[in-house]
Structure 1
Amino acid sequence: MFSVLLAALLAGSPTATVPFPQPTSSVAAADWLTPFEKGNGNTTATYQECIDYYQRLDTRYAEVTMRRAGTTDSGRPLHEVVISADGQNDPVGTRAAKRQVVLIQNGIHPGEPEGIDASMMLARDLVREPALRPLLDHLTVVIIPIYNVDGALNRNSTSRANQNGPESFGFRGNARNLDLNRDYVKQDSRNAQSFADLFQKWQPEVFVDTHTSNGADYQYTMTLIATQKDKLHPALSAYLTGRLLPSLYQGMEQRQWPLTPYVDFEGRTPDARGLQGFLETPRYSSGYAALFNTIGFITETHMLKAYRPRVKATYDFLYLLLQQLHLSAEELGKARAEANRQTAAQQTFPLVWQLDTTRAETLQFRGYEGRTKASEVSGLPRLYYDQKAPYTKPVKYFNTFRPAVQVQAPQAYVLPQAWGEVAERLRRGGVQLRRLSRDTTLTAEVYYLGDFATVPRPYEGHYLHSRLQVRQEQQKQRFYRGDYVVSLDQPHRRFAIETLEPQATDSFFAWGFFDSVLQQKEHFSDYVFEDVAADLLRRDPKLRQQLEERKKADPAFAKSASAQLEFVYRHSPYCEPSHLRYPVVRWQGGALNTTGD
């Protein structure tokens, strides 16, 4: 249904514009204009101007509450702004009032500030404009004014070399030079730690993260990433694709902001091979949100459009989203409840996803012809997009993903207390931990880590692992009083599984939290172990047979004395069992003696 409507919308021309909401009182309007509105259309609020504006709203309107929600790596606080019809600013009271929560995050990349300015105007209009106030009947809006406070303070006019305004803006990296939109699982930054606490406190139904795109040139002022439909629970996916997305695309078309899915493609230009759906794994904001059955949106206004229309398009999208959620609040609530209920009983969980290149929809894409001309720098051919040659043409859209690796959920995981930093991140993900009340030996499912790939240079402060192969076996292992038991009989089991199963794309293993088990701590001296190995082979005919079979199958091995000695060592009791053994075990054996965390 959605693909048919989307194709029709993208094929058509924009209809009449719905006026951009403006304050009604001329006296009040001047008093409540934002820094963006007071400027020339090419300026964005500074960090302090933004915070001061929300503080004024908090002081003036009972419906608005601004407060600290944690800290950031800059030392400045992370703020939350809560907007509700009656001033109810507590999550428990909000749920009791049967209101759903929309969390809007701005400034994760402060060089992409449209959402900062648009949300300031939206917050004001929600409490000042009679036409907008009904949107709060069924919704509570929570706004993070600027998430990357650190980058917002690092203001400049040059770090976004490909972007058309504003005149000055913040920097992408935070105070530790981290890209916070890769930090949701690993949580190296205090920003991400504070966000996790805030997210779990509110557990929003819908999450929005506002951005500016890079990449190709095309006619759209905004493109959109929605939670990848195959990764989202089917009940929520049906609501998203059947109800919410068609309404948003139609509404934006009516406001002369035609949308297209985020322009991610292989090849020279978008029309060469078509667009690909963006697979937002849990390192990204919307991928993280999906682990908790929260629908996510990432708005991507186009870098080459002027700043004023980018802000207005962002405002209109946020307004339309609230309008559609207001109209379908009951439907969303039922879908979310069903998703939570089924997730609690789910047994098979995908860990890795792969694009299905055999399935594609067709979109009517509004682009510009890609041409080449001689470079004034090198004299060689270079690509440019000819804005005098716009087109609307059908392109393929590949947006079906299939599970490439899946796992059956255990009853529980047992995590040794030595890995406290992992336990901290599980807690921030809302996972309930218990602790063994006494020392015990468990026969549990153990992973041994096989081949994997590692990036050659650090990625966001880590040497990221991928394509892990594992070997699983039942093994007795000693655990101690205080070690953590992660039962999966709890609401946030999907987060626990996708972080503790080492093969998952953004598992704690993938981010290097368990790298010390990859290093062997003991070995042998050749001249000493030669005699030990010979004795082992005399006493173990089966090991001798394995060695001989390996020599017959591998001529290079047969010619290497050191390789054969290493083979015997690896198959002997002298080889340390903890080397390459993943320290988190899967438990299937019933209740354990535990105490509260």
Structure 2
Amino acid sequence: MFPAFLTSLLLTSAAIPAAPTDWRTPFEKGNGNTTTTHAECIRYYQQLDTAYPEIQLREAGQTDSGRPLHEVVVSLDGDFEPASVRAKNRRVVFIQNGIHPGEPEGIDASMQLARDYVQKKELRQQLADVVLVIIPIYNVDGALNRNATTRTNQNGPESYGFRGNARNLDLNRDYIKQDSRNARAFAQLFQRWQPEIYVDTHTSNGADYQYTMTLIATQKDKLHPALSQYMQQRLLPALYGGMDKKKWYLTPYVDFEGRTPDARGLVGFLETPRYSTGYTTLFNTIGFVTETHMLKAYAPRVRATYDFLDLLIRQVHQDGAAIAQARTTAAQQTREQQQFALGWRLDTTQAEQFTFRGFAGKTKPSEVSGLPRLYYDRAAPYTKSIPYYNTFRPTTTVQRPRAYVLPQAWGEVVERLRLSGVQMRPLSADTIINGESYYIQDYKTASRPYEGHYLHSQVQVRPVQQPRPFLRGDYLIPLDQPAARYLIETLEPQATDSFFAWGFFDSVLQQKEHFSDYVFEDIAADLLRRRPELRVQLEAKKKQDPAFAASAAAQLDWVYRQSDHYEASHLRYPVLRVL
């Protein structure tokens, strides 16, 4: 038997209930103007993972900081495998936070969201056929570079991460070029999950207005029509209406030309594939970028982000069948589509009217320069109808080839295609393939670097039908695959964010062999004697171009380029189009 005092002690101890777990996030424990650190964020998700079988935290690749990129999966039946989830016909909502860690609302809101969706019965029901995938902090590198000063325009939080990553890259320009390990890890994670809906959480800069949140939806004309119709007619009205009921009135992202938003109206944001939602659109995923307003207090910005994500999940749960049907249609029609747009232009003749809640833009003398400066008068709010221009027309289109052939020498491009789920078949033997080659006729190059590259634009090509030799191990890339649109917008050099535009093929732009003029003079004269039609072309060009006629060097170079001595690979784009 136990001694009496020990028995009493044991009974007393048993009667003391265990202290309840404090599930408040670091943000909720703070003063409303603080955001979690990277370490606190991951530790919180680890606690959720331990306590709830419906949540799993796992590493999803590396970042440039040397730290892992994490994913959090919330799945009611504990199924965390993408292929299995898709086989069960569940919709996937993919939320990415902290691409710019100085814009951390989504980081804090998602921590609360993951907790609430397993703890609250009413919210759990929304996940009956929906799986959440959350990147807690995408730019881990920038989150570790914490400060309180670089977000000059922003009203809180007290401290935050830095926009650039460990290589000073803006990761929201890196989805095609994938210079960062972060972007390469993201591509693999995105391709594994193939989500129906993608959300990238941000904080805006720019004008002052009454809204706490603005929204970028995938540009409707770039999205496949079946998905665009669902988004425009059902999803966006539900999101705008739901946020209105919560008094978080929404507006399209406040991008405008002119001094203030009401001067000429808002302009739709054309997200090319360098951006997150531009990349995800290539795979028939509906994308959103939430942009809370920089000048509003931090706590309402977090709450608005939470409410938007909650509304979105509810709507996906409600519309699961419609979303699946629209995406199936998009996938089937993309496989059959023959013409693809490579460039877009805003149609300024098309506008819809939108009721905008702004503040009057006024001027007063600057205390710095003494000259007039702009300010927004919060004592002068207005609600007025303004135009919203969001119709874009294709400027360049291309006929879909049957396949591309990519030499294995271009390993950086091969790697990026693989990361984005492209199906490629290496040639089993050296061979000759007939197809269409592009010769680069003209292009413009930026005078300053942009995200580590000198971007090319206004690319003009000359197509030539020709047989070309390829080696065993070079890649045949059929277009009959889900990545067809991605392939066209990366491998057609005229596309805005093609691999050519980003400089991955620049070495073909340099001539490797040349001639000494005093040696080639005799060879050129002999060539003109043997090919009199070439002499006729030369004389005609001299008559048309006085500067050419006055330059012996230009004429000799012209003859050289018509001869067999000129290298066939100069200015020839390496990728062959098989028609």
TM-score band, normalised by shorter chain: over 0.9
Separation of aligned partners in 1, 2:20 and 2:414: 50
Matched, 1:415 2:401: no
Counterpart selection for 1:226 from 206, 217, 221: 217
Aligned-pair identity in percent equals 71
CA positional deviation for 1:97: 2.0
Counterpart selection for 1:241 from 224, 232, 237: 232
Separation of aligned partners in 2, 1:483 and 1:236: 36
Separation of aligned partners in 1, 2:298 and 2:280: 28
One-letter amino acid matched to 2:356? F
Counterpart selection for 1:451 from 434, 439, 442: 442
Counterpart position of 1:191: 182
CA positional deviation for 1:382: 0.9
Counterpart position of 2:347: 356
Instruction: Give the RMSD, CA atoms, in angstroms.
Output: 1.0
Counterpart position of 1:93: 84
Counterpart position of 2:98: 107
2:442 alignment partner, SS class: coil
1:450 alignment partner, SS class: strand
Matched, 1:494 2:485: yes
Counterpart position of 2:375: 384
2:195 alignment partner, SS class: coil
Matched, 1:59 2:62: no
Matched, 1:536 2:542: no
Counterpart selection for 2:33 from 19, 42, 48: 42
Counterpart selection for 2:125 from 117, 128, 134: 134
Separation of aligned partners in 2, 1:529 and 1:272: 63
Separation of aligned partners in 2, 1:587 and 1:83: 44
One-letter amino acid matched to 1:586? R
Counterpart selection for 2:202 from 168, 191, 211: 211
CA positional deviation for 1:309: 0.5
Separation of aligned partners in 2, 1:529 and 1:266: 56
Matched, 1:518 2:504: no
Counterpart position of 2:327: 336
CA positional deviation for 1:96: 2.2
2:121 alignment partner, SS class: coil
Matched, 1:485 2:454: no
Counterpart position of 1:150: 141
Counterpart position of 1:6: none
Separation of aligned partners in 2, 1:438 and 1:353: 40
CA positional deviation for 1:28: 8.9
CA positional deviation for 1:537: 1.2
Counterpart position of 2:11: none
Paired residues in the alignment total: 562
Separation of aligned partners in 2, 1:164 and 1:523: 60
For structure 1, which runs of at least 5 residues remain unmatched after alignment? 1-26, 589-597
Separation of aligned partners in 2, 1:145 and 1:467: 38
Separation of aligned partners in 1, 2:26 and 2:275: 30
Q: Deviation per CA, 1:528-581, whole angstroms, max 9, x where unpaired?
A: 222221111111111111111111111121111111111111211111111100
Counterpart selection for 2:261 from 256, 265, 270: 270
Separation of aligned partners in 2, 1:376 and 1:525: 65
Matched, 1:547 2:533: no
Counterpart selection for 1:583 from 566, 574, 578: 574
One-letter amino acid matched to 2:89? K
1:209 alignment partner, SS class: strand
CA positional deviation for 1:471: 0.4
- The 1:378–1:201 alpha-carbon spacing in structure 2 relative to 1, beyond 3 Å, is same
CA positional deviation for 1:29: 8.5
Max radius of gyration: which structure?
2
Separation of aligned partners in 1, 2:542 and 2:195: 60
CA positional deviation for 1:166: 0.3
Separation of aligned partners in 1, 2:262 and 2:444: 32
Separation of aligned partners in 2, 1:449 and 1:507: 14
Separation of aligned partners in 2, 1:106 and 1:385: 30
Q: Deviation per CA, 1:13-51, whole angstroms, max 9, x where unpaired?
A: xxxxxxxxxxxxxx9987000000110100000000000
One-letter amino acid matched to 1:389? A
Counterpart position of 2:114: 123
Matched, 1:425 2:425: no
Matched, 1:162 2:153: yes
* TM superposition outliers: structure 1 runs of 4+ over 4 Å: 27-30
Counterpart position of 2:5: none
Q: Normalised by the size of structure 1, how large is the TM-score? A: 0.93
2:380 alignment partner, SS class: strand
Counterpart selection for 2:453 from 451, 462, 476: 462
Counterpart selection for 1:570 from 544, 556, 561: 561
One-letter amino acid matched to 1:43? T
Separation of aligned partners in 2, 1:267 and 1:571: 51
